[in-house]
């Protein structure tokens, strides 16, 4: 049996393009002699479709798309993923399902049993878990077909009380296929390989695993679909961050062969290299799927906006990126110079708009109220917000999308102005800690200096008052970022973090700042997710809560 | 047996105040001769604690609070709700539990079986459902204790495959107790009474039901705890929107008696009267629980900001409300007059800050880029955003919280400026359709004219360009709001709504606008929830999605 794996980039709710892409790949796979072509989980509607799933008309459209796909499945079978109505009275209205289509008809339906409902996942919101498991007979093979999380109930700290393969294995399958929607995080590729390898070895079966590729707002799917032989050996690893269609032959003894060049990674790419690729894809798909082409951002001369500008230029083409320099009376000469150097290195568009007259107009208008109260955060924020108004005016006039340039460290401790520098359509590095932003800058500069060295080496500053430095109000980033990760990624308490050796006062202050900034983060743009715990849909905190404040 | 029901206002994560409040009520109930006092679901930590539940230290604090509470339970028993570690290896790490405490010790633990995971609920994110059900023996009675949703698996369209009471009833209990966290929506009190009445009747047992009261950011708990006799008759209904502690005697034959005056409603309050009370409590608790006392808002002379201003004055005291009039060159004379009349009717603080010089400073700064391009949405938004910068500067200088004044109709179709009038710490009427805002204004004026009649009767306008009216770009609100409700509240498709008799083009346009505005709503403040489907945590839509755009 010749099996094709289709690792494709879908678009949530875009039935026309998803269906067309699936059909094209079926036709291509047939032409190349495949007996079966395997698509990813919920490929028909895209992942995550979120509350679109609550519209019965949306579910009907999924069914209609499946009909069209089935109609072309002659002389080839396919596996597609889609939501279908739950045919039992009790339980949720839907199942997260896989159709096995042969001879133009749905031959078998598999429903997902283990429904992830943590971090960014909300599957139990929509779907009833399956309790029935049956193998599928095809071309003399017996296929154990499962959906993503179905293979992820680990032995050590099992999140679920069942394991579908423990039932399926009793029916003596000779191959496992798993269709997935497994989003990128910088540590996730290794975890994915380990978990699936463990399944192949435990059940002593070859395993074909097909993932999504492409970004859906904040979630970036990295592809990296996998093929294991029955000894649990990884024998193929599909490319990351790109679409592909690859072919394998499964013989009657369960041996898997293929004649393309395997792209198994001898050495894993560095976290930063992966994050770099993920962010590029994240930016591209945000723009492409929302029908925009041109980005705008405020360029301060600091490292954050420089990195975002360089990423945007790589993702969209420098000709589609507008960098706006927005100096105030507190901007240093080197900041303007560094920003200009970056623009020149990238070849992107740029404008310079001084904000002095605007901030003065605000201060004059407010002078009856502010009287002679001293300069403080009110005036600092007026600067940041005036810049946002200018950038949004450029968006409204010329059709740009504003890129947010806040990093994860700032977003964590609330070191940013709501409706000021926290604005934007999408946050590019909001899941990248400041120390990682430095690494990312070095990585972007790996072949030549794109980001001016001075932007990398100078002490970070918001430049909202004379001589301001981030380190005046925050711990040094190399300490802060570690504390943040322990609290955010690993949910350690202050006491636990102090026990690791960090200064008690610093830890308590950092955690208090994080908790006090929940109201700000609630209103910030979606953040491209590259870590196992990003701000946004995967981290849901009370706003008016009192814990650890 | 004398049972006390404690309907209290908790604060998420505030162990100190929650524990103190629970202990005070135990002491009071004991003094009044109660054998058992019943508190609400997850009262120890507050509801919803959201991802605080992922911190093991948070769970330890819950256990420590339970210990303190148990220590005072001498000569009285109590039922409290708290999250506890799941003692089984498989499944989620926590249970949503009730402790039955007697003689200073936990005598029985009941875990919730039916975990709501729809709309604003995320319980399956944290908790493992229970599969074991046992009654509790106490003072010669056998109590079937369940937690909220456990009694909500309806017969007609059951969301769950089990029904805990079907098991418990076999153990022949003589009374049901249900502890709950059931948030307000204007239609929810009737539904709650009907569902619980049905339980009392079906199992032929008296039922004591204890709810939360008080707001946690966007969720408003309305109280309205209930007591049914074993015939399914409602015999007591606790007050709405306030704390109380009431007492009942359950005799050996299952008869329930009490000697206070029942507050059962002969006639349900109107939806608008309920919404009015809910919003007052929502504002109060947002401020009180976040430690602020003073609100600010922009007052345009239109009905939305007038209603929010009146609600804020009622909730916080007029002396704590600052109304800022921010006229532009497009503001009409009557708008200023109407705003001034409202300020005078309420007696709140007010300031007037003209924005003309500020918008001119922006337009001058942008003139090299904008050249002679015609006035459009860019200049309109500059006005709205300049106002937001001024209001936020006032917040930063004087410690106000900005109230957002967008209504649900505007929020739905994106008729508002992101980082402009869509700013605020909390959205007061973001779950109230424009047609309901008119009703609310009439209700606020029910005794005397607070909101100037002219603000109510004049055609709605954003006044961002000469002679602008909402009806220039939107359908009339009495039509629009009905279409919006069909799509938002009831998830009907365009085709289904057209079939109801609405104009096809209007329906498609409205739905397209709703979908295109997801990116704006993603960045707006939390919205006080008063309907069964509010924007925010209960409605999770893709941003870069293509369905129905």
3-state secondary structure of A52: helix
A63 cis-preceded (ω within 30 degrees of 0): no
Å from B357 to nearest chain A CA?
A: 6
**Bridge partners of residue A143, in order along the sequence:** A136, A175
- Between CA B440 and CA B283 the distance in angstroms is 16
Round to whole Å and give the CA distance between B471 and B480. Answer: 10
Closest residue of B to A523, CA-based? B523
**Which of B109, B100, B97, B110 minimizes the C-alpha distance to B77?**
B100
pLDDT digits (tens, 9 = 90+) for B37-80: 999 999 999 999 999 999 999 999 999 999 999 999 999 999 99
Q: What pLDDT does residue A132 have?
A: 95
Element (H, E) at B200: helix B188-203
Cβ atoms B98, B147 nearer than 8 A: yes
Structure tokens at B362: 């922006």
Which residues in chain B are contacts of A364 at CB distance < 8 A? 357
- What pLDDT, on the 0 to 100 scale, is given for residue A254? 87
Q: Which of A197-206, A353-362, A379-388, B469-478 has the weakest average pLDDT?
A: B469-478
Higher pLDDT pick, B230 / B352: B352
Q: What is the pLDDT of residues B416-449, one digit of tens each?
A: 999 999 999 999 999 999 999 999 999 999 999 9
- pLDDT tens digits, B131-182: 999 999 999 999 999 999 999 988 778 999 999 999 999 999 999 999 999 9
Please determine, for residue B549, whether its predicted confidence score (pLDDT) is greater than 80. no
pLDDT digits 0-9 by tens, B248-296: 999 988 899 999 998 898 899 999 999 999 999 999 999 999 999 999 9
Query: What confidence tens digit (pLDDT) does each residue in A103-116 have?
Result: 999 999 999 999 99
Q: pLDDT tens digits, residue range B108-138? A: 999 999 999 999 999 999 999 999 999 999 9
pLDDT at residue A483 is higher than 80: yes
Three-class SS of residue A126?
A: coil
8 Å CB contact between A281 and A214:
yes
CB contacts < 8 A, A to B, total: 291
pLDDT at A404: 98
Distance from CA of B253 to the nearest CA of A (A): 35
In this prediction, residues B352-358 reach a mean pLDDT of: 97
Q: Which chain A residues have a beta carbon less than 8 Å from that of B57?
A: 492-496
**Where do the DSSP E strands lie in B251-397?**
256-257, 295-298, 321-325, 349-352
Q: Which residues of A touch B545 (CB under 8 A)?
A: 11-14, 46, 49-50, 52, 216
Q: How far apart are CA A251 and CA B394, in angstroms?
A: 74
Query: B2-268: which CATH number, 3.40.1190.20, 3.10.150.10, 3.60.110.10, 1.10.10.10?
Result: 3.60.110.10
Q: What angle do CA A507, A513, A516 make, to 5 degrees?
A: 140
Q: CA torsion A465→A468→A471→A472, rounded to 10°?
A: -70
- In 3D space, the residue among A301, A302, A284 whose CA is nearest the CA of residue A293 turns out to be A284
Which among A472, A484, A481, A470 has a CA at the least distance from the CA of A435?
Answer: A481
One fold for B2-268 and B284-470: no
What's the rounded mean pLDDT across residues B8-17? 98
CB of A116 closer than 8 Å to CB of A96? no
| Strand arrangement of the beta sheet that strand B77-85 belongs to | B105-111, B94-102, B77-85, B36-38, B2-7, B244-250, B256-257
Burial A278-317 (b: 16+ CB within 10 A, else e): bbbbbbbbbbbbbebebbbbbbbbbbbbbbbbbbbbbbbe
- Per-residue pLDDT of A204-247, as tens digits, reads 999 999 999 999 999 999 999 999 998 899 999 999 999 999 99
Tokens of A299: 């360029």
Is the distance from CB of B379 to CB of B420 less than 8 angstroms?
no
Handedness of CA A462, A466, A467, A471 (dihedral sign): negative
DSSP letter (8 states) at residue A191 = H
8 A C-beta contact, residue A190 and residue A200: no
CB-CB contact of A188 with A211 (8 Å): no
CA distance A208 to chain B (A): 27
* CATH numeric code, A2-264: 3.60.110.10
What does the pLDDT read at residue A371? 96
At A331, is the pLDDT very low, low, confident or very high (cuts 50, 70, 90)?
confident
User: Bigger pLDDT: A501 or A549?
Assistant: A501
Q: Which residues contact A448 (CB under 8 A, 6 or more apart)?
A: none
Spell out the residues 6+ positions from residue B109 whose beta carbon is closer than 8 angstroms to its own. B84, B97, B98, B99, B100
Predicted pLDDT at B473 = 82
**Residue of chain A nearest B114, judged by CA positions:** A91
The alpha helices in B375-522, defined as continuous H runs, are 377-398, 408-413, 434-444, 453-457, 470-473, 477-488, 494-499, 504-516, 518-522
Asked whether A441 and A306 are in contact (CB, 8 A), the reply is yes
Choosing among A390, A419, A527, which should be mutated to test the B contact, i.e. which has the most B CBs within 10 A?
A419
Would the CA dihedral through B500, B501, B503, B505 be positive or negative? Answer: positive
Instruction: Identify the H or E element spanning B294.
Output: none
Smallest CA-to-CA distance from A47 within A8, A86, A16, A4 is with: A8
Length of chain B, in residues: 549
DSSP secondary structure letters along B414-451: T-S-TTTTT--SEESSTTS-HHHHHHHHHHHTSSS--S
Q: Provide the CATH topology of domain B284-470.
A: Rossmann fold (3.40.50)
Please give the helix or strand (H or E) that residue B303 lies within, else none.
helix B303-316
- Averaged confidence pLDDT in chain B: 96
* C-alpha to C-alpha distance for A139 and A76, rounded to whole angstroms: 11
Separation between Cα atoms, residue A358 and residue A364, nearest integer Å: 10
- Rounded Cα distance, A217 and A208, in Å: 27
Q: In angstroms, rounded to a whole number, what is the distance separating the alpha carbons of residues A521 and B525?
A: 10
Residues of B annotated as catalytic are 41, 112, 148
User: CB–CB of B52 and A545 under 8 A?
Assistant: yes
Q: At what angle do helices A434-444 and A271-290 cross, to 10 degrees?
A: 90
State the ipTM, two decimals.
0.96
CB B81 within 8 A of CB B49: no
- Residue B537's pLDDT is 96
Return mean pLDDT, chain A: 96
Residues of A in contact with B519 (CB under 8 A): 290, 425
The answer to whether the Cβ–Cβ distance between A493 and B48 falls below 8 Å is: no
The residue among B64, B180, B46, B15 whose CA lies nearest residue B112 is B180
Does residue A549 carry a pLDDT above 80?
A: no
Tokens of A494: 């202050």
Q: pLDDT at position A402, please?
A: 98
Residue A454 burial (C-beta neighbours within 10 Å; 0-12, 13-18, 19+): middle
Rounded-to-integer distance, Cα A415 and Cα A418, Å: 10
Alpha-carbon gap, residue B423 to A423, rounded angstroms: 12
> Which residues have CB under 8 Å from A375's CB, separation 6+?
A465
- Please give the Cα distance from A254 to A247 (Å, whole number): 15
Contact B160 A90 (CB under 8 A): yes
Please list the residues that pair with A322 across neighbouring strands: A296, A349
CA distances from B77 to B4, B71, B256, B297 (A): 10, 11, 19, 48
Average pLDDT over residues B315-332: 95
Beta-bridge partners for A144 = A176
Write the residue in A118, A216, A419 that is nearest to B392 by C-beta: A419
Return the pLDDT at A515. 95
A210: Cα within 13 Å, side-chain hemisphere: 32
By DSSP bridging, strand B321-325 and strand B349-352 are parallel
User: pLDDT category, A461, cuts 50, 70, 90?
Assistant: confident
What was the pLDDT predicted at A160?
Answer: 95
CATH of A273-469, one of 3.40.50.620, 3.30.530.20, 1.10.645.10, 3.40.50.720: 3.40.50.620
Question: Which one is catalytic: A45, A73, A135, A148?
Answer: A148
**How far, in Å, CA of B29 to CA of B8, rounded?**
13
| Partners of residue B526 in chain A, C-beta under 8 Å | 522, 543
> Among positive and negative, which fits the CA dihedral B160, B164, B165, B170?
positive
> Which one of B48, B58, B369 has the shortest CB-CB distance to A394?
B369
Report the pLDDT value the prediction gives residue A462, as an integer from 0 to 100: 85
Assigned token pair, A432: 């990248």
Task: Return the half-sphere exposure (C-beta side, CA atoms, 13 A cut-off) of residue B141.
Answer: 23
Write down the pLDDT at residue B34: 98
CB B325 within 8 A of CB B354: no
The domains of chain A are located at 2-264, 273-469
Residue B231 CB burial class (10 angstroms; 0-12, 13-18, ≥19)? exposed
Mean pLDDT for A254-268 is 92
| Smallest CA–CA distance from B399 into chain A, residue | A378
What pLDDT, on the 0 to 100 scale, is given for residue B474? 87
Burial of A266 from C-beta contacts in 10 A (0-12 / 13-18 / 19+): exposed
| Mean pLDDT computed over B17-42 | 98
The pLDDT of residue B347 is: 98
Q: What is the CA radius of gyration of chain A?
A: 26
Pair A532, A432: CB distance under 8 Å? no
HSE-CB of A480 using CA atoms within 13 angstroms = 24
């Amino acid at each position: 049996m010749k099996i094709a794996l289709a690792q494709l980039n879908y678009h949530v709710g875009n039935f026309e393009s998803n269906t067309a892409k699936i059909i094209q790949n079926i036709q291509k796979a047939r032409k190349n002699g495949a007996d079966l072509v395997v698509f990813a989980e919920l490929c028909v509607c895209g992942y995550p479709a979120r509350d679109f799933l609550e519209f019965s008309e949306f579910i009907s459209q999924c069914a209609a798309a499946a009909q069209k796909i089935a109609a072309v499945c002659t002389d080839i079978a396919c596996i597609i993923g889609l939501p279908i109505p739950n045919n039992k009275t009790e339980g949720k209205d839907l199942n997260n399902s896989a159709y096995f289509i042969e001879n133009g008809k749905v031959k078998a339906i598999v429903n997902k049993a283990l429904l992830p409902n943590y971090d960014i996942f909300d599957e139990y919101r929509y779907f009833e878990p399956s309790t029935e498991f049956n193998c599928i007979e095809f071309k003399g093979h017996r296929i154990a077909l499962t959906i993503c999380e179905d293979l992820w109930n680990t032995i050590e700290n099992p999140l679920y009380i069942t394991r579908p393969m423990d039932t399926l294995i009793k029916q003596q399958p000779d191959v496992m296929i798993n269709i997935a929607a497994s989003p990128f995080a910088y540590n996730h590729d290794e975890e994915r390989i380990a978990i699936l390898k463990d399944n192949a070895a435990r059940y002593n079966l070859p395993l074909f695993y097909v993932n999504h590729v492409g970004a859906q707002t904040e979630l970036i799917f990295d592809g990296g679909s996998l093929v294991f032989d029955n000894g649990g050996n990884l024998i193929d690893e599909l490319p990351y961050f790109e679409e592909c269609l690859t072919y394998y032959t499964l013989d009657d003894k369960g041996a898997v062969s293929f004649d393309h060049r395997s792209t198994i990674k001898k050495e894993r790419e560095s976290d930063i290299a992966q994050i770099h690729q993920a962010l590029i894809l994240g930016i591209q798909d945000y723009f492409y799927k929302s029908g925009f082409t041109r980005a705008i951002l405020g360029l301060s001369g600091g490292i954050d906006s420089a990195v975002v500008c360089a990423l945007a230029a790589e993702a969209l083409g420098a000709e589609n990126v507008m960098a706006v320099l927005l100096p105030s009376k507190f901007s240093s000469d080197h900041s303007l110079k560094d920003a200009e150097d970056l623009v020149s290195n990238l070849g992107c568009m740029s404008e310079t708009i001084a904000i002095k007259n605007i901030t003065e107009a605000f201060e004059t208008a407010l002078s009856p109220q502010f009287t002679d109260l001293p300069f403080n955060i009110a005036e600092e924020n007026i600067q940041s917000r005036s810049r946002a108004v200018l950038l949004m005016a450029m968006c409204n006039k010329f059709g740009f999308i504003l890129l947010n340039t806040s990093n994860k460290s700032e977003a964590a401790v609330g070191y940013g102005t709501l409706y000021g520098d926290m604005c934007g359509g999408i946050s590019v590095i909001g899941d990248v800690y400041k120390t990682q932003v430095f690494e990312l800058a070095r990585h972007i500069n790996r072949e030549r200096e794109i980001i001016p060295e001075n932007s990398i080496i100078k002490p970070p500053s918001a430049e909202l008052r004379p001589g301001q430095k981030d380190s005046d109000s925050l711990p040094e980033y190399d300490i802060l970022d570690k504390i943040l990760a322990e609290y955010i990624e690993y949910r350690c308490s202050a006491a636990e973090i102090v026990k690791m050796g960090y200064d008690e006062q610093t830890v308590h202050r950092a955690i208090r700042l994080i908790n006090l900034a929940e109201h700000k983060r609630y209103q910030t743009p979606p953040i491209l997710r590259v870590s196992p715990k990003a701000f946004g849909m995967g981290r849901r905190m009370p706003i008016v809560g009192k814990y650890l404040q």
